[in-house]
Amino acid sequence: MGVMRILVLFFRGVLRDRTELAAENLALRQQLAILQQKSKTPCLHKRDRIFWVWLSKLWSGWRSALLIVQPETVV
């Protein structure tokens, strides 16, 4: 990762609104909860869909966190 990219990510994090950071944190925690299910393939339930609908109303950048990630990639 280049130094320039690290600086951009740092300043983006510093300048973001706290509500936006909290919403992103919620989205990542919800994704981890889905991945920690006992089944081999992640399965979205009705409550998960309701969560994403609610989050889309609250946070305009919700699409950036929509990608389901592996727990090992989240630092």
* Domain locations along the chain: 3-73
pLDDT of residue 75: 57
pLDDT for 70 equals 61
For residue 31, how many other CB atoms are within 10 A of its CB? 20
pLDDT in tens, 9-42: 777 777 667 777 788 888 888 878 877 777 777 6
Residues 44-61: pLDDT tens digits? Answer: 788 888 888 888 887 777
The whole-number pLDDT of residue 68 equals: 59
Predicted confidence at residue 74, as pLDDT, reads: 62
Secondary structure letter of residue 66 according to DSSP? -
